Structure 1
Amino acid sequence: MTIALGLGIRALSTAAWTGPAGDTLYAVLIYLLVAILLPARPRVLAAGLALTVCLAVELLQLTGLSAELGALWAPLRLVLGTTFGFADLVAYAGGVALAYAADRLFGVGFSRAARTP
């Protein structure tokens, strides 16, 4: 659902808010993937790892490697992006914080669910 929403926002609108919204949803997706892959870990660790992955992807863009890989295989542009932007870092932090807060407030808790027999 997160992927569909992120791609849909970008496909259906060219408004200025779609870039930050897509980056925020990207960070939510990374949080969800980390939480699913490491279910027995605390949520705060999932948030930290998700933010680290997002930051690493954004910093990789400074090398130009992301753009080169995206030119070779178009779907990688969706995953790695192409150009560095400081605003993206802010959107990532917001997305991870949003996902963490939602998980704490409404989620079943991946870490608790994994520990129950």
Structure 2
Amino acid sequence: MKKTRLCYFLFFLGTIALGLLSRTIKDIPLFIGDMLYAVMIYFMVHFLFPKAKTRTIALVSLLACYAIEILQLYQAHWIVNIRSTTIGHLILGQGFLWSDIVAYTFGIGIVFIIESFLKKPTDSL
């Protein structure tokens, strides 16, 4: 169990690094960073709930991403101040975009398919 949690924590950190790197290279489309954000959330949820089913992890992650994106429609002064900080901007984003919802869906969909494929027991001959 500890080994699994460590793996997901390392995947979480690695995804953060890739996401930040994707924002510094101008030739990488912005949606890649948004997809990586969703994948990071997926790995964080998996780290927090290692015994949960992959389908549940994907659903919770997707709902968290959607909630964070919808929260960007809320523009109270206090949360705008938080978003103006580097960490606040990275975690909470800046403004609602439908394209981010699509990117989150694809990011979590891809990692869910890959993990489901890797976890599937192989049929013995």
- TM-score, scaled to structure 2: 0.77
Amino acid of the residue matched to residue 96 of structure 1? I
- Partner of 2:67 in structure 1? 56
- Partner of 1:18 in structure 2? 29
Amino acid of the residue matched to residue 32 of structure 2? A
- Partner of 2:20 in structure 1? 7
Specify every segment of 5 or more residues in structure 2 that has no aligned partner in the other structure, as ranges.
1-13, 121-125
Amino acid of the residue matched to residue 81 of structure 2? E
Whole-angstrom distance in 2 between the partners of 1:12 and 1:64 = 30
Q: Is the 8 A contact 1:59 1:84 kept in 2?
A: yes
Please say which of residues 62-71 and 88-97 is displaced more in the overlay. 62-71
1:105 is displaced (CA, Å) by 1.9
Aligned residues: 105
Whole-angstrom distance in 1 between the partners of 2:117 and 2:80 = 38
Q: Is the 8 A contact 1:23 1:91 kept in 2?
A: yes
Whole-angstrom distance in 1 between the partners of 2:75 and 2:98 = 16
The answer to whether the aligner puts 1:39 opposite 2:47 as a matched pair is: no
Q: Is the 8 A contact 1:67 1:77 kept in 2?
A: no
- TM-score, scaled to structure 1: 0.82
Specify every segment of 5 or more residues in structure 1 that has no aligned partner in the other structure, as ranges.
109-117
1:74 is displaced (CA, Å) by 2.0
Structure 1 segments of 4 or more deviating over 6 A?
none
- Partner of 1:83 in structure 2? 95
Identity of aligned residues (%): 33
User: Which structure is higher in RCO with an 8 Å CA cutoff and minimum separation 6?
Assistant: 1
- Partner of 2:7 in structure 1? none
Whole-angstrom distance in 2 between the partners of 1:32 and 1:102 = 13
Q: Is the 8 A contact 1:64 1:82 kept in 2?
A: no
1:107 is displaced (CA, Å) by 5.4
- Structure number with bigger Rg: 2
